[in-house]
Amino acid sequence: MNTFPVLGILMLPVALGTFLTACLTRREPLPWPLTVAVGFGAGTGIVTNFFIVMCYLPVTERFLWVNILAGVTAAVLFALCVFAGVFRRRPAAPSGMIRFSTLLVAAAVLYIAAFIVWCGTNIPIISWDTFETMGLKSKSIYTSQSLNHIPFRDKYDYPLHMPILMAWISKSIGVWDNISLKLIFTLAAAAAAAVLGYVLRAWTSLRWAVLGVALLFASGFLIFHSTIAYRDVTMMYFNCTTVLLILMWQRSAGKMTVVLPALFAGLTSFIKLEGFGYMAMHNALWLAVLFFAKNMSVREKVTRQLAFTAISVGVYLIFAVYKWMYILPAVPDLAADPTHFDLNRVALAGGGGVGHRIARVAWRYFENMFLSGNWNLVWLLFVLSLTRLDRIRQSETVRFLLLFLGMFFAVYFFGYALTQHFVWVADKHDVLSRSILHVYPLVVAVICLINAGDDRSVPERGLSPSG
């Protein structure tokens, strides 16, 4: 077992990301636990992109260079934090009496968390997908310190954030351990829960924050995926954190930095192929937030939209350009692989039966969300919450969340119904559940915000406590 060495080496990217987040939010400081939860994603994403940058260069000890770059960057950011007095400005957690019922729910959440940690640190990488897309890719990167073997592996065009992160950890601790490495997936689930909990604490109350985290882990599907080496929990963390960061910016009346949500939007594209689509949705949500902002001139809105798009697309291009230049040209018989799941090759499904496909996909969604055991009663609570139209009218935050969820379901529904990817949901449940998982915390957030009576209909700080 190498759990503690893995946790130890992860302190480097977490420190890097935490110092970066603290610097970027110095005008609208976040509580330290939330800063660390956001820093986990920022730091690990920067480290894996450092490796991609090293792959452009004629160097051999790439992981050593990644460690040097990460260490120097973290040291510089720490110095900037000290110089700017960032460490003295973090808001304290709000005080107050905690209800006994809240403590009981929190105890149940901690019990589930302990179960997830045990499974995540005692069960090795299992199943074909995790062997092929995670284990074998990561081990080839670990042994070669390059991406030269990727064109000859299955799923050659998949983004490589998680395989690179696993390889970097293994090289840094000096051993390949396919049990302890899975801890990063558990940590992604924990970071997602922390972000959701602290955001709900700031926008509603402690009671609703604890209830929101409990609803999050009411899903057996999420608990299971928090213990295995699939990338969907990591995608959930990056996608939902991006959306919540955008809404923090909106609630701060533009005082928060554009860089942090834009960085996360770009990093989302480095987790799975679907991440490119999510990045486009993040840009659309950002555009909607700017469009309805009343305290900015048109010039300010255009400037901030261009900044968000430039940063997010710039991060996306770091790996995309490498894939186009070095990976795809080296793939044997690339043109003879038309059925490969590639969002860059989506085509309308030929023939008739469009109505049948639409009905089939609609039934699959209904069956998955309401008749399976994957989500407990969360989707029923979501539908019942939507009947409280007065609360939705009062809350701009809820309306933006519903806008993003609407974009998500529209893209996936018609993507499955009208393209060659119909096969993925016609006779399978797993793929649909994994895609729904990517927005699951946002569904929980909508339930809590509507029923807690969120928004005072006046501009607030991005994370000012209430209730």
Q: Is residue 147 predicted with pLDDT exceeding 50?
A: yes
| Residue 130: closest CA among 227, 209, 223, 219 | 227
- Going through 217-362 in order, the beta strands assigned E by DSSP cover none
Amino acid letter, residue 380: L
Are 180 and 121 contacting, i.e. CB atoms less than 8 angstroms apart?
A: yes
Residue 122 inside a domain? The answer is: yes
Confidence of residue 51 (pLDDT cuts 50, 70, 90): very high
d(CA 44, CA 42): 6
Residue 28 tokens read as 């609208």
Residue 467 inside a domain? The answer is: no
Confidence of residue 346 (pLDDT cuts 50, 70, 90): low
Are 319 and 272 contacting, i.e. CB atoms less than 8 angstroms apart?
A: no
pLDDT digits (tens, 9 = 90+) for 66-93: 999 999 999 999 999 998 888 776 665 5
Residues β-bridged to residue 348? 419
As a residue count, the chain comes to 467
d(CA 399, CA 356): 32
pLDDT value for 50: 97
The owner of tokens 């998949």 is 158
pLDDT value for 85: 83
Neighbours of 8 (CB within 10 A): 12
User: To the nearest whole number, what is the mean pLDDT of the chain?
Assistant: 88
pTM over the 0.85 mark: yes
Residue 54 inside a domain? The answer is: yes
Largest Cα separation within the chain, whole Å, is 66
Residue 321 inside a domain? The answer is: yes
Span 14-29, average pLDDT: 92
Span 145-153, average pLDDT: 91
pLDDT digits (tens, 9 = 90+) for 354-366: 888 888 889 999 9
pLDDT value for 467: 34
Confidence of residue 124 (pLDDT cuts 50, 70, 90): confident
| Residue 123: closest CA among 182, 169, 165 | 182
C-alpha 351: how far from chain center: 37
Span 202-227, average pLDDT: 92
Counted domains in the chain? 1
pLDDT value for 387: 95
Residue 423 inside a domain? The answer is: no
Residue 191 inside a domain? The answer is: yes
Name every residue whose Cβ is closer than 8 Å to that of residue 111 and which is 6 or more positions away in sequence: none
Confidence of residue 135 (pLDDT cuts 50, 70, 90): confident
Q: Is residue 455 predicted with pLDDT exceeding 90?
A: no
Helix, strand, or coil here: 457? coil
Domain that holds residue 314: 3-87+109-332
Q: Is residue 174 predicted with pLDDT exceeding 80?
A: yes
Residue 374 inside a domain? The answer is: no
Q: Is residue 339 predicted with pLDDT exceeding 50?
A: no
pLDDT digits (tens, 9 = 90+) for 374-425: 999 999 999 999 999 999 999 999 999 999 999 999 999 988 888 877 777 7
pLDDT value for 459: 39
Confidence of residue 347 (pLDDT cuts 50, 70, 90): low
d(CA 242, CA 389): 26
Residue 76 inside a domain? The answer is: yes
Span 35-47, average pLDDT: 97
pLDDT digits (tens, 9 = 90+) for 234-251: 999 999 999 999 999 999
* Highest averaged pLDDT of the listed ranges 33-42, 203-212, 351-360: 33-42
pLDDT value for 426: 67
Are 223 and 217 contacting, i.e. CB atoms less than 8 angstroms apart?
A: yes
Least confident interval from 235-239, 302-306, 461-465 = 461-465
- The radius of gyration of the chain's CA atoms, rounded to the nearest angstrom, is 22
Confidence of residue 434 (pLDDT cuts 50, 70, 90): very high
